[in-house]
Structure 1
Amino acid sequence: MDPLLMTLILTLLLFGLLATGLWVAVTLFLIAFIGLLLNDTGSPGLIMATTTWGASSGWGLTALPLFIWMGEILFRTRLSEDLFSGLAPWLNHLPGRLLHVNILGCGIFAAVSGSSAATAATIGRMTAPELAKRGYDERMSLGTLAGSGTLGLLIPPSIILIVYGVSAEVSIARLFIAGALPGLMLILLFMGYTMFWATLNRKRMPPADPNLPLGRKLRASLHLFPVLGLILFVLGSIYGGLATATEAAVFGVFGALILSALTGTLSRENFVVSLMGATRTSCMIAFILAGAAFLTIAMGFTGIPRALAEYIATLGLDSLGLIVVLTLFFVLLGCFLDGISVVVLTTSVVLPMVEQAGIDLLWFGIYLVLVVEMSQITPPVGFNLFVLQGLTGKNILRIAVYALPFFLLLLVAVVLVTAFPQIATWLPSMMTRG
């Protein structure tokens, strides 16, 4: 069947099934089956079995439920309240106030997990209830979580940068260094927008807490030490070469249990409830990952991604035109595939075009991650949207609307990195010279 016609049929079926309220993971499996049948591919059941097993049995995925469990444990201690009581005095008169905790928290935790889903789930579990209790606007509370959770893909250690580095034969260490400044730029963009929104919507912000003298602010900051200590403990184990991200996740759970015991909240009931909460969230994400992996394989059999990439190659565009078209291409694929799948499926076709256009592959890796970050908050297959839906029970389309400004900010980041490529390349070049 013609790839264009097949794309149209599968797209209509996908949105039609989602409109019926069918589970997203089940929808992904059904679309993959239909795609294989339309392509006359034999043994779709065998393909599904081997694909889902491979997607769900990787050792690297172990970090995801562990980091989620760490967040569940911390959520049931006083540490989430301590996080706010320690930061509130310093952010109290900054427009947006405690909304910035979502952004800064995700930025810090992204340096621990390397996973967008784990970042959104862990920080969301700690901050979303506290912000709701304090009367913060739901739109901005969930929007900042969805947008900032994408930082897990860019700030090292980043799983997707590793995948790209292997595919493009680019130094993973240099890619990690290159991701630092763009990650900081995104944090500043998110905080800037939050301050702008809060300035225009003062009536939708809760009342500010009374201003405290410097001494009391410093004493309040002592509440941050347990959380910062745990973060430094996990980060130090990774950057000190003592543990991988998965092993560091074990340290994180162990540290969270210790902190829970020290605060007197580690009971048998809390332990079981936190474990079951992490199990439910992890199973939800794992089911979607398995469905996305099966859909990815099905798309490979249909030839749709390759056909689209080859069509772009025939346009004969200059470097800027190529980047514009590739941005649209990757955002379109990101509506249906997870970020790693987009990279794996397209790099073999896209990278020769990029090299021929004279584009630096190191810079292209950072650009690609920024575009893939956009797909994390794009329905129908935006993983951060699924995570927040599981945490809050809100409609996924409503959360997508909340996240729309941050999608546009990611687009601004893509424009800035394209206009000023030194944002991504300067730091690695300085490190190389050093």
Structure 2
Amino acid sequence: MTSLFIAFVILILIMFFLGLGVWVFAGLLLVSITGLVFLIDMSWFRVGTIMGPLVIRSATAWEVSAIPLFIWMGEMMLRTDMSDRLFRGLSPLTYHLPGRLLHTNIAGSALFAAISGSSAATTATVGKITITELSKRGYSKSLTYGSLAGAGSLGLLIPPSIVMIVYGVLAEVSISRLFAAGVFPGMMIAGLYSGYVIMASLLQPGAAPPDRARPGFRDVLRGIMDLIPISILIVLVLGSIYTGYATPSEAAAVGVVATIAMTILTGQFTFGMFFASLRSSVHTSCMIAIILVAAAFLSTAMGFLHVPQDVANAIAALDLTPVGLIVILAVFYILLGMFLEGISITVMSLPITLPLIIAAGYDPIWFGVFLVVMVELAQVTPPIGFNLFIIQGLTGTPIMRVALAALPFFVLMCIGAALLVVFPEIALWLPNWLFDK
């Protein structure tokens, strides 16, 4: 039985179990065990001896401890007036740009992404205030929904990023470098979004009607004051990582303490809020942890089945150029993104794609950023686009209408991915400058 046939069988099994509605972690475990027992006749006892140490090692990795802490930060922010402060702070600063308050979706998402690490949390937190305000003031619903869907996905790219931590653990690369590598690509994609909003607003003046009052100097000053809390959190978390004073896990702990202190100082701390955010964080973190364990076991099973090596050899035999390989993988990830969410895409594909990327001569840090952009695309593609679902829940708008509004931003993200391929230094310059001095 050839490894290519085994790879095909594994793919069919994954689609079969997920199609049955089985939880992702259970589906991955079932595929792994089925492959080992029935495809290469491994004994059940041997499967157990492989799984036991692997579960402990995957669940107790030090890097994984950053995930629940960053999630907890986002959950506490979600329960405070942070989104209101973002909107109030950014409104006077965006007044003179064509598109005006539409830029609060983009800038607000970029700023909140720098303390959240989650696309869903970013979209929900920013959207719950901006959608109502922009609709009330007569802004284009299409541009409002589309810019929020696209910019909300920046929660995966702009550090700290949960998907980057997952990738760093599985690919065994520096998470600090990954975080640094995501900064400029995140800013670039946010810039593409703002550029499109400016162009669309100039072509359709009614998309961004004039505001009732022109903000004065005091309004701008108040806006800056409203942005100070979130700016302090960004400096504390990312500054401690990039200056070398803390690892990502330690910086996440610093961020949690600072967030709690900030909620106390602003008079928003309650034990109800504290325990609700903690409970939600534990729920999400356990889900991610158990998927990581299942993914590690799938990766090991694929190794026993010799799938990564033989698939890599088969693709190498096609004599593809490195760019040709990236194009094929991009299409592959876009198709996956129609049916799976980001962490599942990462953990299921990495055992096969990472060896190919390394064999083609690409930097694994660069590929981590490219993969996150591909995962971002999954957030805005139907039928399983989480950002689309969140906006639908906030507005009651049909999902396909939200998807059509997000289409231009999907295209802009594809352009961003292409620019990363042509100019890899967009991702690699900052980590090289920070850590290779």
Distance 2:289 2:404 in 1: 24
Q: Which residue of 2 aligns with 1:305?
A: 308
Aligned to 2:149: 143
The residue aligned with 1:77 is 80
Gap change, CA 1:86 and 1:57, over 3 Å in 2: same
Match of 1:411 among 414, 420, 433: 414
Equivalent residues in 2 for 1:346-425 (5 A)? 346-348=353-355, 350-354=357-361, 361-362=362-363, 365-367=365-367, 369-375=369-375, 377-378=377-378, 406-421=409-424, 423=426
Q: How many residues align?
A: 418
Distance 2:255 2:392 in 1: 24
SS in 2 for 1:91: coil
Question: How does the TM-score come out when normalised to structure 1?
Answer: 0.75
SS at match of 2:37: helix
Deviations 1:76-114 (A, max 9, x none): 22232112111122235646655544543554466567x
- Aligned letter for 1:130? I
* Whole-angstrom distance in 2 between the partners of 1:5 and 1:35: 12
TM-score scaled by structure 2?
0.74
Tell me if the contact between 2:114 and 2:234 (Cα under 8 Å) persists in the aligned partners: no
The alignment status of 1:268 with 2:271, answered yes or no, reads yes
What is the distance in 1 between the residues matched to 2:231 and 2:263? 15
Quote the offset at 1:374 in angstroms: 0.3
Task: Give the % identical residues.
Answer: 36
* Contact in 1 for aligned 2:25/2:294 (Cα 8 Å): yes
Question: 1:387 and 1:302, CA in 2 relative to 1: closer, same or farther beyond 3 A?
Answer: farther
- What is aligned with 2:294? 291
Deviations 1:179-208 (A, max 9, x none): 554343222123334555677888887995
Cα displacement (A) at 1:330: 6.5
- Deviation of the 1:146 alpha carbon: 4.9
Q: Specify whether residues 202 and 55 from structure 1 end up closer, same or farther in structure 2 by C-alpha distance, changes over 3 A only.
A: farther
Distance 1:205 1:19 in 2: 43
Question: How far did residue 298 of structure 1 move?
Answer: 3.1
Identify unmatched segments of 5+ residues in structure 2.
136-140
Q: Does 1:42 align with 2:43?
A: yes
- Cα distance in 2 between the residues matched to 1:6 and 1:93: 59
Secondary structure of 2:93's match? Answer: helix
1:358 aligned partner: none
Residues 11-54 of structure 1 deviation map (CA, whole Å, 9 limit, x = unaligned): 44434443444433333333333333342333344444443333
Residue 338 (structure 1) shift: 4.5
Please give the secondary structure, in 2, of the residue aligned with 1:67: helix
Deviations along 1:207-226, one digit per CA (max 9) or x if unpaired, are 95643223322223211112
Could you tell me which residue of structure 2 aligns to residue 60 of structure 1? 63
Deviation at residue 290 of structure 1 after TM alignment: 3.0
Instruction: Give the drift of 1:418.
Output: 3.3
Mapped pair 1:14 → 2:14: yes
TM superposition shift of 1:346: 4.7
* Range with greater deviation from structure 2 (212-221 or 270-279): 212-221
CA RMSD of superposed structures (Å): 4.6
Q: In the aligned structure 2, how far is the partner of 1:51 from the partner of 1:245?
A: 23
Give the letter aligned to residue 307 of structure 1: D
